[in-house]
Amino acid sequence: MRILGIDPGYGITGFGVVEAQAGQFRLVNCGAITTPPNTDFSWRLTVIYNDMTQLLQVSQPDAVAIEELFFGQNVTTGIHVAEARGVILLAVAQAGIPLFEYKPMQVKQSLVGYGNATKHQMQDMTKRLLHLSAMPKPDDAADAVAIALCHARSSTSLLAKAQAK
C-alpha cells in the first residue's frame, strides 16, 4: 500500500510518501509545498491546490492520510490553515483517493504508544521504522511521514481488518 501523508499548512505543507507491506515500511519521497509570505492569500491557496493535484498524480497513492486541524492560541492562523486544508481535501476528493484523518494525539499513540509523546520521541520512532540515518527536512515533511506511518500501522491492525469485514 502506498500512502501519502500530509501535514497541512499555508506557508509550508509537508508531504511524505510511504510504502507499507507486511509490516515493513519504506520511505518513497517527502518534501514540502511552500508559498512565500506577504503574497496574496488566494494565490497561495491556488499554488497549494495545483501542487497537491500534481503530487497526487505523480505519487499515485492508494490512500491519503492528513492531520486534523488543531486550533492553538492564534485563531487567525488556524483559519488560514483550515482554508489550505480545504483546498487539499478538494484535490484529494477530485482524485478519487480514499482519505483518512488523524488527530495529532492519534499519530503519537500509533507511532510511540503514548499520545503525549515529544517531538524527539516521534522523530526517533519514525527513523527506526523507516531505517533512516536522519530525519527528513523540513519538520513539516517529517510530520507528514509520521502521519503516513500512522495510517500504515492503523490500516494493517487487527481492528482495521475486523472493521473492513
Q: At what angle do helices 75-95 and 41-59 cross, to 10 degrees?
A: 40
Residue 11: other Cβ atoms inside 10 A:
17
Q: State if pTM tops 0.85.
A: yes
Amino acid at 73: Q
Quickly count helices (H) and strands (E) in the chain: 6, 5
For 2-164, which CATH superfamily applies? Ribonuclease H-like superfamily/Ribonuclease H (3.30.420.10)
Q: Give the pLDDT band (50/70/90) at residue 162.
A: very low
Mean pLDDT of 49-63: 98
pLDDT band at 163 (very low <50, low <70, confident <90, very high): low
User: Closest Cα partner for 35 from 142, 140, 143, 148?
Assistant: 140
pLDDT tens, position by position, 104-145: 999 999 999 888 898 889 889 999 999 999 988 999 999 999
141-165 mean pLDDT: 77
Q: What is the mean pLDDT of the chain?
A: 90
- Of 18-22, 29-33, 73-77, the range with the highest mean pLDDT is 29-33
d(CA 65, CA 92) in angstroms, rounded, equals 10
Q: How many residues does the chain have?
A: 165
Q: Examine the pLDDT at 8 and tell me if it is beyond 90.
A: yes
Tell me which residues are annotated as active site.
7, 67, 140
Domains in the chain: boundaries: 2-164
Percentage above 70 pLDDT, the chain: 89
pLDDT digits (tens, 9 = 90+) for 127-137: 999 999 998 89
pLDDT(158) > 80? no
Burial class (CB in 10 A: 0-12, 13-18, 19+), 55: buried
d(C-alpha 40, C-alpha 106), whole Å: 34
CA 3 to CA 19: how far, in whole Å? 6
> According to the model, what pLDDT value does residue 74 have?
61
What is the DSSP code string of 69-123? Answer: P---S-HHHHHHHHHHHHHHHHHHHHHT--EEEE-HHHHHHHHHS-TT--HHHHH
